[in-house]
């Protein structure tokens, strides 16, 4: 229940919709309550000896007028209440996405994309139902039940009302008792559906591996096992769920039988008129919907409460990485001098540090290279510098300022970054390259593409730079993706350029071409290169060799070679291993 409090500000913003909507709803209810009164008078009139047809005209006209009022008021409440629910749904989804943009990448590592999407669609839909049908049901049931009871007891016959209504609380008890069970079984069904979806998703994403290793049959059996369990849980739910509707109808029927027999006897005895009998059965009919909807209402509130709880968990998630209080952008633009002091960092859910005591001093405009085994901590350093994870205070400085004291926006504007996974959006190639700034001119985009050695290939597509990527467009090869991602970073004018393993899908020739093209860019930019090939990084001003998170060697190409350590061994191995077999010396330039 307490989760519904989160909705109050939204509710308040649209309160007039609700005021008018509920007002119209009650108007429709009142019209419905008047209707049996008209019928009662009509019946008593036709019963009266000596009545003529023109005596009936007022009743026919009154009914017609009530019909028009019911039409108008129902039209209004549907528009007001359901419309307001749609507006709130929109705002919640907007705010949810905003919250996503605030959460750190680590959050997304630990939450499945599918689940987060479900929050933005299914959970919001449940909340929307509560905000429209839930509100309507509460207002409607409360008003209709109380006023019908008052009318039945006070204007028709207290004894008839007592006997006829006797079975109805049973309906509430039954739905209440079964409701809890149904809720649990329903949850079990839903959980199994997500499990099934996850496994299907995984199976299809990994289909090449599944096929390569001839796993179709075992995988299919596994999936069908989940499907069978889903079937069973559905049947377990139905066993009690299918009971509710017939049972409630039966109980309502019971009330009607009492009204018919006992009410009939009262008419026979002359205690009530035939008109009152007809009115009573009509009022009983009015109670049908509210009685049935109590069960639904409980269910709806439970479901939307659970949905709100999940949404609330996201909304109350404090972004791990935020601007420090008092963080202000420095007066003059950053130049890109990087200092790292004794950086030791351990991932939140890990026990071993990913980097230990790393120190770097890189003047602005210089090139730093990181090299080392897989898992040595190269990308970790980059992530910390970008504040994908926050480094410990006092460890990383830009132009002498602790990056924790910089506003995130300033920090990220200072850096152009090529991520190792080359994520591109389903937009045109031009839009992807101009991602940092959608105002970028075509010449800048093309130049960036040319520098990334991908312009030629882009121009070969029928739509050139306007080629749409992703689901609705073409799929690029891994190398093409990597180079478009590179162009995206190059199109951004920032004092620091970071390439994390950005040549892994590019052949040596193209790499050489790109690096050559970058030379003049690198002149006035601080550049950080992560690579595996010595040839990629040999021009760097500072090369750090990492092993298990530690810097084991540092220097430039020449000095590292002279050190005869890991780097030089690596170099030797990359260069000379063949000498045992081949003899390329003879063919020297």
Partner 1 sequence: MIREEEALGKAYDARLMRRLLGYARPQFWWILLALGLTVIVTASTIAQPYLVKIAIDNDINTVSLPMVTYPIGQAPAGVPAVPFDGRLFVRVKALPTPPASTTPVYTILAQGGQTAMIQGPMPHQAFTIKNGGHAVQIGTRLLPAVPVPVAVMSRFRQQDVRGLELIGILFLGALLLAFLANYLQAYILQWVAQSAIFSIRKDVITKIEGMPAAFFDKNPTGRLVTRATNDVEALEEMYSSVMVNMIRDGLLLVGVVVIMFQMNTYLAFVSIAVLPVVFIAANIYRNKARMAYRNVRLALARINAFLAENISGMRVVQTFQRQSAQEEKFRSANGAYRDAGIREIRLFAIFRPFMDFLYTGMVAVLVWFGGGSILDSALTFGVVYAFIQYIQLLFQPINDVTQNYSILQSAMAASERLFVLLDHPAELTDPPAPRALPAAEGRVAFDHVSFAYTADNWVLRDVSFEIEPGQTVAFVGATGAGKTSIMSLLARFYDAQQGRILVDGVDIRDVKQAELRRRIAVVHQEVFIFAGTIRQNIALNQPLSDQEIVRAAQLVGADRFITRLPHGYDEPVQERGSTFSTGQRQLLSLARAVAADPAILVLDEATSNIDTESEQQIQMALENLAGTRTMIVVAHRLSTIQGADRIFVMAQGQIRESGSHQELLAQGGLYYDLYRLQYKEDFKLT
Ligand X SMILES: Nc1ncnc2c1ncn2[C@@H]1O[C@H](COP(=O)(O)OP(=O)(O)O)[C@@H](O)[C@H]1O
* b/e code 365-379 from CB counts within 10 Å (16+ = b): bbbbbbbbeeebbbb
Residue 130 or 386 having the CB closest to ligand X? 386
Q: Which of 78, 183, 310, 550 binds partner 1 (CB under 8 A)?
A: 78
Alpha-helical (H) ranges within 78-167 are: 83-102, 105-110, 113-118, 124-129, 135-151, 158-165
Burial level of 109, CB count in 10 A (0-12/13-18/19+)?
A: exposed
When asked if residue 508 is in the footprint of ligand X (CB under 6 A), the reply is no
Number of residues that bind Mg ion (CB under 5 A): 1
- The two tokens of residue 393 are 């205070």
Q: Does residue 270 come out as left (phi exceeding 0), alpha (psi in the -120 to 50 range) or beta?
A: left
Shortest separation between residue 55's beta carbon and partner 1, angstroms: 8
Q: Could you say which residues in the range 405-444 bind ligand X, by CB under 6 A?
A: none
Select from 14-22, 49-57, 135-143, 371-379 the region that touches ligand X (CB under 6 A): 371-379
When asked if residue 377 is in the footprint of ligand X (CB under 6 A), the reply is yes
Residue 47 or 477 having the CB closest to ligand X? 477
Q: Which does 441 bind (CB under 5 to 8 A by kind): Mg ion, ligand X, partner 1, none?
A: none
When asked if residue 413 is in the footprint of partner 1 (CB under 8 A), the reply is yes
CA distances for 218 relative to 214, 222, 225, 231, 342, angstroms: 9, 6, 11, 20, 50
Helix (H) or strand (E) holding 529: strand 526-530
Length of the chain in residues, anyone?
589
Q: Which of 379, 422, 432, 536 binds Mg ion (CB under 5 A)?
A: 379
Cα maximum dimension of the chain: 131
Q: Could you say which residues in the range 287-326 bind partner 1, by CB under 8 A?
A: none
CA distances for 443 relative to 449, 456, 535, 538, angstroms: 10, 15, 31, 31
Residue 5 or 239 having the CB closest to partner 1? 239
Task: Note the Cα 490 to chain centre separation in Å.
Answer: 31
When asked if residue 225 is in the footprint of partner 1 (CB under 8 A), the reply is no
Q: Which does 209 bind (CB under 5 to 8 A by kind): Mg ion, partner 1, ligand X, none?
A: partner 1
Place of tokens 């020449």: 558
- Rounded to whole angstroms, the Cα distance separating 136 from 262 reads 34
Select from 225-233, 318-326, 377-385, 484-492 the region that touches Mg ion (CB under 5 A): 377-385
Q: Which of 49, 331, 400, 456 binds partner 1 (CB under 8 A)?
A: 49
- The two tokens of residue 369 are 């290279």
Residue 294 or 476 having the CB closest to ligand X? 476
Termini Cα distance of the chain: 79
Q: Could you say which residues in the range 170-199 bind partner 1, by CB under 8 A?
A: 193, 196-198
Shortest separation between residue 215's beta carbon and partner 1, angstroms: 6
- Rounded to whole angstroms, the Cα distance separating 130 from 135 reads 6
Shortest separation between residue 220's beta carbon and ligand X, angstroms: 24
Side-chain-facing half-sphere of 3: CA atoms under 13 Å = 18
Select from 84-92, 134-142, 368-376, 394-402 the region that touches ligand X (CB under 6 A): 368-376
Select from 157-165, 207-215, 333-341, 441-449 the region that touches partner 1 (CB under 8 A): 207-215
**Rg value, the chain, Cα:** 36
Select from 10-18, 171-179, 271-279, 330-338 the region that touches partner 1 (CB under 8 A): 271-279
Shortest separation between residue 468's beta carbon and Mg ion, angstroms: 23
Q: Could you say which residues in the range 328-357 bind ligand X, by CB under 6 A?
A: 347, 350, 354
Shortest separation between residue 386's beta carbon and Mg ion, angstroms: 13
Shortest separation between residue 1's beta carbon and partner 1, angstroms: 27
Helix (H, G, I), strand (E, B) or coil at 545: strand
3-state DSSP percent of the chain in helix, strand and coil, to 5: 70, 10, 25
Q: Which of 244, 284, 376, 434 binds ligand X (CB under 6 A)?
A: 376
Shortest separation between residue 243's beta carbon and Mg ion, angstroms: 58
- CB of 164 closer than 8 Å to CB of 262: yes
Number of residues that bind partner 1 (CB under 8 A): 177
Q: Could you say which residues in the range 74-133 bind ligand X, by CB under 6 A?
A: 109
Residue ranges that bind Mg ion, judged by CB under 5 A: 379
Q: What is the contact surface with ligand X in residues (CB under 6 A)? A: 109, 347, 350, 354, 372, 374-380, 477, 479
């Amino acid at each position: 229940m307490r989760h519904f409090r989160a909705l109050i500000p939204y509710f308040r913003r649209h309160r007039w919709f609700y005021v008018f909507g509920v007002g119209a709803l009650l108007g429709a209810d009142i019209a419905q309550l008047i209707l049996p009164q008209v019928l009662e008078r009509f019946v008593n009139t036709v019963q009266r000896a000596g009545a003529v047809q023109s005596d009936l005209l007022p009743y026919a006209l009154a009914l017609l007028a009530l019909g028009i009022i019911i039409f108008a008021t129902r039209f209004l409440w549907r528009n007001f209440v359901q419309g307001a629910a749609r507006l709130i749904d929109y705002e919640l989804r907007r705010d949810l996405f905003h919250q996503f943009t605030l959460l750190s990448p680590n959050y997304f590592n630990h939450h499945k994309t599918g689940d987060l999407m479900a929050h933005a669609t299914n959970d919001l839909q449940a909340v929307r139902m509560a905000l429209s049908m839930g509100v309507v049901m509460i207002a409607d049931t409360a008003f209709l039940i109380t006023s019908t009871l008052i009318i039945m007891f006070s204007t028709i016959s207290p004894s008839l009302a007592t006997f006829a209504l006797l079975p109805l609380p049973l309906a509430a008890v039954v739905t209440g008792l079964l409701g809890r069970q149904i809720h649990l079984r329903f949850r079990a069904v839903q959980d199994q559906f997500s499990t099934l979806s996850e496994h299907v998703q995984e199976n299809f994403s990994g289909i090449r591996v599944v096929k390569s290793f001839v796993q179709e049959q075992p995988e299919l059996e596994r999936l069908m096992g989940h499907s069978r369990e889903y079937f069973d849980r559905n049947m377990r739910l139905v066993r009690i769920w299918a009971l509710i509707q017939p049972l409630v109808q039966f109980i309502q029927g019971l009330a009607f039988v009492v009204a018919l027999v006992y009410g009939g006897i009262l008419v026979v005895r002359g205690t009530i008129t035939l008109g009152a009998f007809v009115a009573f059965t009509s009022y009983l009919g009015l109670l049908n919907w509210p009685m049935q909807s109590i069960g639904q209402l409980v269910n709806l509130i439970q479901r939307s409460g659970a949905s709100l709880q999940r949404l609330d968990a996201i909304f109350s998630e404090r972004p791990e990485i935020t601007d420090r209080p008092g963080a202000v952008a420095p007066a003059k633009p950053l130049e890109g001098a990087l200092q790292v002091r004794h950086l030791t960092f351990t991932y939140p859910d890990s026990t071993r540090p990913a980097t230990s005591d790393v120190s770097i001093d890189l003047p602005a405009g210089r090139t730093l290279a990181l090299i080392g085994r897989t898992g040595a901590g190269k990308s970790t350093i980059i992530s910390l510098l970008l504040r994908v994870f926050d480094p410990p205070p006092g460890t990383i400085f830009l132009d002498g300022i602790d990056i924790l004291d910089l506003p995130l926006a300033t920090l990220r504007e200072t850096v152009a970054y090529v991520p190792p996974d080359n994520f591109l959006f389903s937009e045109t190639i031009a839009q992807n390259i101009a991602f940092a700034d959608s105002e970028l001119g075509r010449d800048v985009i093309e130049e960036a593409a040319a520098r990334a050695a991908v312009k030629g290939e882009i121009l070969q597509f029928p739509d050139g730079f306007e080629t749409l990527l992703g689901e609705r467009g073409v799929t690029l090869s891994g190398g093409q993706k990597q180079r478009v991602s590179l162009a995206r970073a190059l199109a951004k004018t920032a004092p620091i350029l970071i390439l994390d393993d950005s040549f892994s899908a590019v052949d040596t020739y193209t790499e050489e071409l790109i690096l050559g093209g970058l030379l003049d860019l690198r002149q006035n930019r601080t550049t950080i290169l992560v690579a595996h090939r010595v040839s990629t990084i040999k021009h760097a001003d500072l090369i750090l060799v990492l092993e298990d998170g530690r810097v084991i060697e540092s220097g430039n190409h020449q000095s590292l070679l002279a050190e005869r350590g890991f780097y030089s061994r690596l170099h030797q191995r990359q260069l000379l291993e063949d000498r045992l077999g081949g003899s390329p010396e003879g063919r020297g330039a």
